[in-house]
A and B are shown apart, each in its own frame.
Chain A
Amino acid sequence: MSGTVCVERLSKSYIVRHRKGLFHSQKRIVEALKDVSFEVHPGEILGLLGPNGAGKTTLIKILTTLLLPSSGDAWINGYHVQKNENEVRASVGCMLMGERGLYWKLTGQENLEYFGALYHLKPTARRRRAEEIISLLDLNDICNRPVESYSSGQKMLLAFGKALVNDSSLLILDEPTNTLDVPTASQLRAIVRDLNKQGKTIIYTTHIMSEAEMLCDRVAIIDYGNLLAIGSVADLKSSLKRNQVIQIQGTISDEAISALRLLPMVLQATAATVNGKNKLTVVVGEKREALSTIIATLLENGASLQTIYQEQPSLEDVFIAKTGRTLSEDTYKA
């Protein structure tokens, strides 16, 4: 148990009611987490990657003591999340629920000062801390305006600032770039990276592949409550053999793509249209022979192929190989 965060066989199930009309409802047990174990090493950024509803937020809520696990244990900085909940709360800076965690009628400065008080900072220290955070996030111009007048992105930045109030060694950030525009998201990622360089350990949940790839030292893929894989981005990519991702360009009909998806060795086939031509990304099993079968199937179904090449696998390919579907599709469906 050497990690900043240690999670051992954590499971969580809860009861939801399926409403049927005015008075009838049916109870159903949802297994949000299933026997999840991992460690977060001091000073690293661990990305939790998974579609909406995968169990990421449930995991974070357990780690921050908002939820009690059904079974299993977890420790933060050596403190057990159930037995030492106040110690855990004091040693974590958490951004959860985004902008909803703020008092909209208070100003940004007032919000940060109040949360400073909840972390037992003295009035002068909490005022100074609020000013430092406002300056870091470049919110000086709006810090004395009520939060309700902020844009969505500014609210998210302030919610991120709230997680910095107690200067904890561990930051837990739940999809912090949601609703941010591209430059602001980039600014926030740069701040996260710099805070990490200054020694903070960070757990960062996201469903944006590129974000996880550029920011995280290690990535954990979660789906349907299961931890499917954990490792550095490079390790996860190398776990896929290079010949497993094949890019095909040409004129390819929907029937050809459907026929391709029926092949047992094809794990995933995703199509995008570029300049009126299809760009097909195919993830296959380990066998090199798959290529000839794929080409034959496409040609039999009327496809006209221009280029075929193997590509370095991306984190998206890793996700597809582990879960059997794309993250963007699944997030959209969820």
Chain B
Amino acid sequence: MYLLPKLGAPYQKILTKHEANKRIMKLRPGFSVILASSKTRLLTLSRYPGELLIDIITPIVFALIPILIGKASAGSGAETFFAFWNVAYWLRSEMETGTIEALYLSPSHRIWVAGGISLYSLIRSIFSAAIAYILGSFLFGVNPFQGNIVLALLFIIIGIIPLYGMTLIFGAMVLRVKQANTLVNLMQWIVSFLMGVFFPIAMLPAFLRVLALLFPPTWMNIGARASILGIEYFFTEWYLDLAVLWGFTIFAPLFGYWAFRSAENKIRSNEGVGTF
């Protein structure tokens, strides 16, 4: 007789009484899913050594271009931003391989899984950004420890939360449009342009500047750049710029979550998430 042991008592209790589900949106189990998803992503990439190498080098190049143009630090915020595009590509890849339905069958919410993908990308991007920053400083003969690095990091760390909200919006786009790589590439270029990666947004026409200020990464980039280079903040004082970024930390994730859920429900009402 084929005998499969029961899961241990705590899991039996959790699973039969469904206590685990009450905790689904709580942090601890969510964090466990984030770590496992991040590890899975890394394991998958490690099976393609060439791609893993390119995956590390590409962000350095991405960051170096604005650094070469904007002297030493312009790309630091942008680098963090690029980390989150990977979620859109990841969703598409899950659709194509067919594993997206397997994810939807589990009680872990997709925002935690997407968080795991973002975590991997974020760690990789921070690593790449650090290398790019040191390289940029070396090339321009700039002291890498100039300016207020702690404040710049604060802008970047706080900016991560609204960025995650934007990630969910892009995820919703991929769910709806499906073959969205071209769209995502286009959006990547537009948003990079608007957030002032290549040049300050002060150079943009007025209407584009207003549009740019609606993007949380723009504020992250302005803040990080001003903190390091000692140039002017948008509202002159750093804490006012930071306050705007804080505002986005509340609004962007909520809007992103709403957009993602709406896209999911729309798809589940028709053909389901498995179609690609």
Contacts and interface: CB of A to CB of B under 8 A. Distances in A.
Interface of A: 14-16, 61, 64-68, 79, 84, 86-87, 89-92, 94, 96-97, 100-106, 110, 113-115, 117-122, 125, 129, 132-133, 136, 146, 162, 164, 166-169, 190-191, 194-195, 197-198
A168 B40 CA distance: 24
Given A104-B97, A117-B33, A120-B32, A90 B104 contact: no
B24 to A, nearest CB: 5
B2 A191 contact: yes
B12 interface: yes
B43 interface: yes
A89 B105 contact: yes
B108 interface: yes
A102 B105 contact: no
B102 A106 contact: no
Interface string B4-25: 1111100110111010110110
A2 to B, nearest CB: 18
Nearest to A58: B272
A64 B274 CA distance: 13
B99 interface: yes
Interface residues of B, number: 50
B182 interface: no
Contact of A167 (B7, B36, B97): B7
B70 interface: no
25 contacts: A14-B270, A66-B105, A87-B18, A94-B105, A97-B274, A101-B98, A103-B99, A104-B97, A105-B44, A110-B43, A114-B40, A117-B35, A117-B108, A118-B106, A118-B113, A119-B106, A120-B14, A120-B23, A120-B29, A136-B3, A164-B4, A166-B15, A190-B2, A191-B2, A194-B1
A119 B2 contact: no
A106 B2 contact: no
B20 A103 contact: no
Given A14-B269, A103-B99, 20 more contacts: A66-B101, A66-B268, A67-B272, A86-B21, A86-B109, A90-B107, A91-B15, A119-B15, A119-B108, A120-B23, A125-B7, A125-B8, A125-B11, A132-B4, A136-B4, A146-B47, A164-B4, A167-B4, A194-B2, A198-B3
Nearest to A136: B4
Contacts of A100: 97-99
B21 A169 contact: no
| Interface-central residue, B32, B36, B44, B107, by most chain A CB under 10 Å | B107
Contacts of A162: 102
The SS class assigned to the A binding surface is mixed
Most chain A CB within a 10 A radius of its CB, from B1, B2, B271? B2
A89 B102 contact: no
B146 interface: no
Contacts of A68: 265, 268-269
B103 interface: yes
Contacts of A106: 40, 43-44, 47
Contacts of B36: 113-114, 117-118
Which of A14, A90, A103, A133 gathers most chain B CB within 10 Å? A90
A97 B33 contact: no
Most buried by B among A14, A91, A136: A91
Nearest to B94: A103
Contacts of B104: 65-66
Nearest to B109: A86
